[in-house]
Amino acid sequence: MPLVVAIWNPPTVPPAAPSLTPPGQLRGPSIHVSGEQFVGVGLFSFEAGLPTLLVNALTDIRDQFTAGGASIVEVPQGSGRFYDVVMVEDVAKGFLNEHRMALISKRGIWPAPIP
């Protein structure tokens, strides 16, 4: 079931209104990757066990390698569960199931209990 995702693209940040609110799917870290394995991207390395956000192809979601900076997302919208976007990649480009994948990392303090 898709969730509504709130995306803030720089220079807009919460609590301002989000830049866009597309449908998306939140997935937990891959169980196929151990916490001891790392993936390198340019000069930046991150642990491969980050949650994944899937959105429709061409959704304007930005990572830290994008001019102007990375997006902030809240999934689901209104939950108080904020994430920084670490990396964005297009998946299945040129096929009918094309979509955009974002690796995300928890941001700030979440409400308790976690919604």
Task: State residue 33's pLDDT score.
Answer: 45
pLDDT tens per residue, range 94-115: 999 999 999 999 999 888 888 7
- Burial code (b: 16+ CB inside 10 Å, e: under 16) for 39-50 equals eeeeeeeebbbb
User: Cis omega before residue 15 (within 30°)?
Assistant: yes
Q: How far is CA 27 from CA 12, 39, 51, 65, in A?
A: 25, 18, 6, 22
Count of CA atoms in the C-beta half-sphere (13 A) of 49: 7
pTM, rounded to two decimals: 0.83
**Residue in the block written with tokens 């993936």:** 39
